[in-house]
Chain A
Amino acid sequence: NAGVTQTPKFQVLKTGQSMTLQCAQDMNHEYMSWYRQDPGMGLRLIHYSVGAGITDQGEVPNGYNVSRSTTEDFPLRLLSAAPSQTSVYFCASSYRTGSGTGELFFGEGSRLTVL
């Protein structure tokens, strides 16, 4: 049981390049989400999904694209990288409980630097 797996762990891009951060979970969770973490800013939600085929924007969606074709996978695409997207990215999965969204299971993070 691997939990939430993110790849790559580190990536350096040049301004204007595009790339995809991969995220996969093997817990059959219906909820998946992407956060970015910047110093002093906590975690900010980029995009999230409540099930296959359903995605929605979070707090900071500009410059990012997502899709969810399967329950297991939730890739995050950077369309044209900018230095402001230098950050640590976390993917998480979760499930519905009787009191809303349950605990998040996080991947180990992807550290992205845009030059």
Chain B
Amino acid sequence: SQQGEEDPQALSIQEGENATMNCSYKTSINNLQWYRQNSGRGLVHLILIRSNEREKHSGRLRVTLDTSKKSSSLLITASRAADTASYFCATAGGTSYGKLTFGQGTILTVHP
């Protein structure tokens, strides 16, 4: 079963707007990661946040993590048409190494 549940499943916005995607998970984690996938391509890592961190920034990306609620959010500010892609959260489990468990993803469409 999937560890992460993502919300919304699809998001459609205009260029310049902010996009927020949410991820919930079920078990304890060491870290949580966000990935991006352009259509027909492999996944690309965006950001990793450790279980003892609450917020992390990278360029126009802001990730928050609330371990008490077992949830994370990814905010993309000032979206561009080139941000159109699928976004996935993935968790690194507390006692397992070498693998991540992925959510089902959010499809983001940014209209020019």
Contacts and interface: CB of A to CB of B under 8 A. Distances in A.
B1 A59 contact: yes
Contacts of A41: 104
Q: Do most interface residues of chain A lie in helix, strand or loop, or is the interface mixed?
A: strand
Contact of B93 (A35, A49, A100, A106): A100
A21 to B, nearest CB: 14
Interface residues of B, number: 32
Nearest to A90: B42
Interface residues of A, number: 34
Interface of A: 4, 30-33, 35, 40-45, 48-50, 56, 58-59, 90, 92, 94, 96-97, 99-109
Interface of B: 1-2, 4, 29-31, 33, 35, 40-45, 48, 50-52, 88, 90, 92-94, 97-105
